[in-house]
Structures are given as structure tokens and as C-alpha cells.
Amino acid sequence: MAWKTRLTSLAAAWAAFGWSASHAETANPAMWRAADADTEVIFLGTFHILPKNVTWRTPAFEVAFARADIVYFEVDAAAPDAQSKTLSVLMTEGFNEDGALLSNMLSEDDAAKLRGIVTSLGLPFEGVNPMRPWNAFLTLSVQFIVQQGFDPGSGVDSVLLAESRTKGKDVRFFETIEQQLALFTELDADTEKDLLVLTIRDWDEQTEGFDDLFTAWKNGDAAFINEEMNRTMKTQAPIVFDRLIVERNRAWSEEIAKILETETGAVLVAVGAAHLVGDQSVQAMLSEKGVAIERYGAANEDADAVHGDDIGAILKSVGEE
């Protein structure tokens, strides 16, 4: 079930909701490092939406961010026209043609469960029922995660993007809003229906699964994220896994390899944590190209330093610059 949280995060990156969690938490997200003679790339696995009171800026991250000349993100969700483009696609491609209804596409049991889920989320069933399955999936997922006290505006990506621009860093993106939306709009009919059906049937496990995944991200537990998100997605929805994870990782690794070859300086890559775990991660694909990868900072249990340096000393030196 937990693989759907990755899709939920992607959906919420486009949403305009606001919510406030009532408790403070500390996170230590996993990071990795690749380098050659004149270029360093630090990878940060992000959670796209967070409670407002989560502290995720570790000393290791602060060092990496201070050093970074270039910061990469998945997509510019804060672009002035991002919301209008998203709404346009949702309105023109997010609803079934000829007035077809989800309740008529699903089995009687699944249709009844869908109605109950929509009602429990405080949404009008009449508004969801005409949606294409992928749109209904995104709508339910975003509303669910907002009800858990998470806010897209507090996510790592949103905060870091705004700060990167304020500090005048070279901000770059792997994808456009249109490309991310096409991940769903171009799904074949059977796949998008299966996506919704899986969500409906696993709905009762959503809260526990989401909590476990969030805890794994806070603890930098890459193995758990890979097992519960990527391997499960690959098994239950292989077409979705290839589109959302493998194909994108391949494209991103190609771009990062070019950076290592042609540019100098420090780079920070901040993308969803699912892209940085497992044997088809961005780092794994870079390793196949001969790029050496190591865990960075104190997120892993056997490392309390930043690739051999003392974090305190580095922070002091950064502060003196």
C-alpha cells in the first residue's frame, strides 16, 4: 500500500491546500554524495509535503546547501502559471467523456467503497463520480494526506526552492508541470482504473502505511522506503512504477552524469525519496556509469561525519565566508 504515498506526494505538490500539525518533529532524511576531481553532487531524498513543525535541516544538509552553486528540483511547482496549467489539464482531461461515471465502471462493492471514502473525506460524491480514475485517485489521495495534518507549502521542496531563489543560487528543474501531469493523463484506461481500484481496496490501511513511510523518511531508512514503496509498486502496478520511477530516474541520471563531466562546483539534488532508493535509483544508474556513490552525513547508522570531515568545523568555515 505504501507506494501510493509517493503518488500522493506528487499530487499534493500541485495542490493549494494549507494545514497545520500540532506537534513538532525532527527528521534526518537520507543523503548521498557523488564527486569527481572538480564537482560534488549531494542528493537529498525529500518528502514533498510535511507538517509545518517538522525540522529536517540537519547540519549535513546545511553544509551541502551552503556549498551548492546549483540546486535541482523535480519541477517548478511554484511557477506563476503552474497552478493555472494544472487546473486546465484537470478540467480538460480529468473527466470522463460522454458523462461516464466511476460508479458504473467499478464493481458494486468497489463503487460502494468509493462512495464511503469520498463521504469520509468531506467531498461531494457528485463531483468525484464523473472524474477519470487517475483524477479521482489524485483527489482522494491529496485530501487524505491533508487530513493527516500535512501542508504542501511546508514540504522540503517548497521551502528549499524559495530559499534557493532568495540566495541567488542557480535553480534548475528536471521536468515541467506538463511532463509531470502527463505521467497520469497518458496512462492507458486499464492502468488508471487499476490505480483507483487498488487505492479503494487498500484504503483502510492508508493511515498506518503513511505513518510508517513518514517515519522511515524521518529516520533516513532507505531500505524501508525501497521495500514498502518501490518494490510494492513494482509488483502491484509495474507500468506505473516504470513511468513514475524508472524512466524518470534514467533521464535524471543522464543529466547528472553530464554535470559531473562538464561542470565544476557543488550541486544539490532535492527529489522525492523514492527516486534515491533501491537498485533502480538515480544513484544506482550513476554507479553503472562508473560514478562512485556514498552515503553523506549522519543519516546512516555507521557515519557521524560528512565524508570524513567534521561537520562543526565545516559549518564554522561556511559561516566565516
Angle, helices 59-67/311-320, rounded to nearest 10 degrees: 40
CA-to-CA distance for 162 and 141, rounded, in angstroms?
A: 25
Residue 35 contacts residue 268 (beta carbons within 8 Å) = no
Pair 132, 95: CB distance under 8 Å? yes
Structural domain total, the chain: 1
Find out whether 17 and 149 touch, Cβ atoms under 8 Å: no
> How many residues does this entry show for the chain?
321
Instruction: Compute the distance between CA of residue 21 and CA of residue 25 in angstroms, rounded to an integer.
Output: 10
Is the pLDDT higher at 122 or at 52?
122
- CA distance linking residue 283 with residue 225, whole number of Å: 15
According to DSSP, residue 99 is labeled G
Q: Which residue would you say has higher pLDDT here, 298 or 223?
A: 223
Please tell me whether residue 25 adopts helix, strand or coil conformation: strand
Provide the strand spans (E) within the chain. Answer: 25-26, 31-35, 39-46, 54-55, 70-75, 170-175, 265-272, 293-295
Helices within 186-246 (DSSP H only): 189-201, 206-218, 222-225, 232-236, 238-241
Pick the residue with more confidence: 313 or 94? Answer: 94
37 contacts: CB under 8 Å, gap ≥ 6: none
Tell me if 244 sits within 8 A of 9, measured CB to CB.
no
- Domain of 197, in residue numbers: 3-320
Per-residue pLDDT of 238-287, as tens digits, reads 998 999 999 999 999 999 999 999 999 999 999 999 999 999 999 999 99
Q: Note the pLDDT of residue 256.
A: 97
- Which pLDDT band holds residue 5 (cuts at 50, 70, 90)? very low
pLDDT digits (tens, 9 = 90+) for 146-202: 888 787 678 899 899 999 999 999 999 999 999 999 999 999 999 999 999 988 998
Geometric angle at alpha carbon 271, from 265 and 276, rounded to 5°: 95
Cell 490501511, residue located: 205
Q: Cα torsion at 35, 56, 231, 138 (round to 10°)?
A: -120
